[in-house]
Amino acid sequence: MINFQDEICALTKELVEHPSIVGTIGERDMAAFIYEKLRQLPYFLDHPHHLRITPTRHDDRERYNVLALVRGRDENCSETVILMGHLDTVGVEDYGKWMGLAFSPDELLREWSKGKIPAAVARDLAGGNYMGGRGVLDMKSGVAGNMAILRYFAENRHRFQGNLLFLVTCDEENNSRGILSALADIHQLAREEELRFIAAVNSDYTAPRFDGDPNRYIYLGTVGKLLPAFYIVGKETHVGQAFEGFDPNLIAAELTSRIDYNPDLCDEMFGEVTMPPVSLKQTDLKKQYDVQTPQTAFVYYNFFVHSWSPRDVLCRLKGIAREAFEAAIAKYHQRGRLYSRLSGNSYVPPEIEPRVFTYEEFYHLCREKHGAEFEQQILAFSHNMLNKESVDIRQYAKQMVEELWRWGGDAEPAVILFFASPYIPRVVLNEDDPRDFRLIEAVHRAVEQIEPYCAEKIQVRKFFPYISDMSFVALSDDEKEIQAFEMNMPVWGVKHQMDLEAIRQLDVPVINIGPYGKDAHKQWERVEISYSMKIVPNLTVAVIRHLFSS
C-alpha cells in the first residue's frame, strides 16, 4: 500500500479553499491553480510540452481544462490510461449561516461541532474521519487523489510500461462544456504523441446506495440521462365557461401521474435498474394572472437509462402521452356530464382528438405545409435565440417548439414530445469485448489485492448511477439510435454543440473509482478520509498496474 493519505488530505483542503463554483471566474482560477501545481513537478520541468491548459470551445465564458501526460519507462509504448476528474462545484446557498465557511474545511468543522446539526452528521464527525466543505466530496478529493497518483506515476515511471494522461475539466455540473471541448485536445495530444487509449478511470464521488449501506463501490460504465419534455396545447376559455375550453394542465397532471416514480419506466440491464423518472418541471405558460384558462403547458422529466436508446424512450413516452391525453379527455367528459346533471345546464361534449406528435413528426408536417420558407425562418429564429443569453437550453428548446406550433398548429389541443436537454450517453462495458474485459479483469484483480486493507467490502457494479463526464468518452447507442435524439432535440447543433464523431473516435472503456462520502450538493457535504484518501488511490494504481501488465 502506497502512503497517499496525508498528501491527498492536504491537497483536498487546498483545492476546497479555492472556490470554483460552476459559471464563475473561480473555474478559470482553479484550472490555473492546478496547472501551476503540476508545473512544479520535476517531470513537467523536464517535459513542459506534456502539460497543457486549454480554453473551452463554443463557450460563453473564459474557462479552461488541464491535461498532463506522463510517459512510462518505454517511450515507444502507445498504451495510455486516462485519469479523469472535474474542477467545478455547485453553489453554496444551501449552507445558510455557514455560507462564509463553505470553503474553509477546518473552520467549518469547528463551527459545525458547536452548532445544532443532524445526528447522522454528528456521528460521522465524532470519529474524526470526515472532512466537510463545498466540493470536498464532489469532487475535489477525487481531483487531489488524481494529482497525487500522477505525481507518484511521474516519480516511478520506470515501474510502468504504459502512459498516464491526467485530465481535469470545467463545467461538469452544468452543460459538460469542459469534457466536450477537451475531446479535441485529447485527440490532438494523441496524434502528436502517438497515444492509444486503453481505459479511462473517473474519480467522481460515491455514496451509500441506501440508508445503512456498509459497502464501498466501483462502477463499470455509467447510466445515461435524457430529459423528455412535453409541450401541451389546450383550448383557452373564460373560467365562467370552463367546459367550452380544455385545460392543458389536465393532460400534464395525467402525464405526471403515469411517469413520476413509475417503476415500469425503470430500465434494467445486467440485473441493475435505474431510478424511475421524476418530474423536474410542470407549469402552464400563462405570463400573468387573468380569468382565462391557460392555452399551453410545459413539463419535463429526468429519465435514466441503462439499455434503452433515445428512440426507445420516445416510443414508450409517446404511447404514455396518448394514454394520458385519452384519460384527460375521458375525465373532462365525465365531469362535464356530472356538472350538467347538477346544474341543469345542457352539455354538448366537444370533439377532442388525442393528438400526440414527436418534434420530428411535427417539423415534417410544417415543412410539407410551408416548404422552404418554413425551414429558412425556423433556422433564423433558432439563431436569433442565441442572442438571449439568459435563456437556458431547456427554455430555448421550449421556445423552438412554440415557434413550430405557430407555423403548423391550429385551434385544437395537441401534445408535442421532444428532448429538452443535452444528450448524456449511457456507457456499457461488455465482457465479450476484449478491451472491456481487460479493464474489468484489472478492476477485479485490484479489488482482490486492496480489499484486505479496507474495513468495508468493496462491490463492483455495472453502472455509475450519477451524471458525470464518463458519458462523453464512449458511445453505446448506435448512429441510428442517436439520430432519434438529434431529430427531436430542438437546440441540436445551435445552442448545444456536441462532437459525436470525437466521442466515437475516442471510444474508451471507462470506470469510476471515487471518494466516498455523503450529502454531495447539500449543506452537509462531507468526505470519508481513510477510504477516499488511502484506499481509493491504491485501487486506482492497482488497476493501472494490472492493465499495463496484462
Helices (H) and strands (E) in the chain, counts: 17, 19
Q: Please state, in angstroms and rounded to a whole number, the distance separating the CA atoms of residues 534 and 3.
A: 7
Write the pLDDT tens digit of every residue in 138-194: 999 999 999 999 999 999 999 999 999 999 999 999 889 999 999 999 999 999 999
Classify residue 75: in a domain, yes or no. yes
How do strand 510-512 and strand 458-461 relate by DSSP bridges?
unpaired
390 and 268 together in one domain: yes
CA dihedral in degrees (490, 262, 278, 220; nearest 10)?
Answer: -80
* Of the residues 381, 399, 419, the one at which a domain ends: 419
The residue behind cell 446539526 is: 117
Classify residue 495: in a domain, yes or no. no
pLDDT at position 451 over 90: yes
Q: What is the CATH number of the domain that holds 448?
A: 3.40.630.10
Distances (CA, A) of 509 to 178, 196, 339, 513, 541: 19, 12, 61, 13, 17
318 and 201 together in one domain: no
Q: Please state, in angstroms and rounded to a whole number, the distance separating the CA atoms of residues 283 and 285.
A: 6
157 and 243 together in one domain: no
Helix (H, G, I), strand (E, B) or coil at 368: helix
**Res. 362 pLDDT band, cuts 50 70 90:** very high
Q: What is the CATH number of the domain that holds 415?
A: 3.30.70.360
pLDDT computed for residue 52 by the predictor: 98
165 DSSP β-pair partners: 69, 82
pLDDT computed for residue 346 by the predictor: 84
* 534 in Cβ contact with 6 (< 8 Å): no
114 and 208 together in one domain: yes
pLDDT computed for residue 345 by the predictor: 86
Interval 515-533 mean pLDDT: 97
Classify residue 132: in a domain, yes or no. yes
pLDDT computed for residue 510 by the predictor: 98
Distances (CA, A) of 96 to 20, 101, 447, 533: 19, 10, 40, 28
The residue behind cell 419534455 is: 229
279 and 316 together in one domain: yes
**Res. 422 pLDDT band, cuts 50 70 90:** confident
Classify residue 485: in a domain, yes or no. no
pLDDT computed for residue 379 by the predictor: 92
* Of the residues 419, 437, 453, the one at which a domain ends: 419
DSSP state of 243: G
**Over pLDDT 70: what percentage of the chain?**
100
Write the pLDDT tens digit of every residue in 58-81: 888 999 999 999 999 998 999 999
- Residue 158, amino acid: H
**Res. 350 pLDDT band, cuts 50 70 90:** confident
What is the secondary structure of 73-132 as a DSSP string? S-TT--EEEEEEEE--B--SGGGGGGGGGTT-HHHHHHHHHHS---HHHHHHHHTT-EEE
pLDDT computed for residue 459 by the predictor: 98
384 versus 131: the higher-pLDDT residue is 131
Residue 137's domain comprises: 5-223+424-473+508-549
* 270 in Cβ contact with 462 (< 8 Å): yes
Number of structural domains (the chain) is 2
Handedness of CA 502, 506, 512, 517 (dihedral sign): negative
pLDDT at position 235 over 90: yes
Q: Please state, in angstroms and rounded to a whole number, the distance separating the CA atoms of residues 458 and 510.
A: 18
Maximum separation of any 2 CA atoms in the chain, in Å = 92
153's CB contacts (< 8 A; 6+ apart) are 70, 72, 160, 164, 541, 544
pLDDT at position 10 over 80: yes
55 and 13 together in one domain: yes
Note the pTM of the prediction, 2 decimals.
0.92
535 and 414 together in one domain: no
92 and 196 together in one domain: yes
Classify residue 494: in a domain, yes or no. no
349 versus 93: the higher-pLDDT residue is 93
pLDDT computed for residue 392 by the predictor: 87
Interval 439-463 mean pLDDT: 97
Q: Please state, in angstroms and rounded to a whole number, the distance separating the CA atoms of residues 458 and 142.
A: 17
68 and 165 together in one domain: yes
Mean pLDDT of the chain: 95
* 393 in Cβ contact with 175 (< 8 Å): yes
Classify residue 92: in a domain, yes or no. yes
| Helix locations, 5-82, DSSP H | 5-16, 25-39, 42-46
379 and 467 together in one domain: no
Residue 213 cell numbers, joined: 449501506
464's CB contacts (< 8 A; 6+ apart) are 202, 204, 219, 221, 222, 223, 470, 512
Write the pLDDT tens digit of every residue in 279-315: 999 999 999 999 999 999 999 999 999 999 999 999 9
Classify residue 490: in a domain, yes or no. no
17-21, 58-62, 368-372: range with highest mean pLDDT: 17-21
Classify residue 528: in a domain, yes or no. yes
142 and 211 together in one domain: yes
Residue 308 cell numbers, joined: 434503452
- Orientation of helix 141-155 relative to helix 25-39, angle to 10°: 20
Q: Please state, in angstroms and rounded to a whole number, the distance separating the CA atoms of residues 51 and 66.
A: 8
Q: Please state, in angstroms and rounded to a whole number, the distance separating the CA atoms of residues 130 and 132.
A: 7
236 and 272 together in one domain: yes
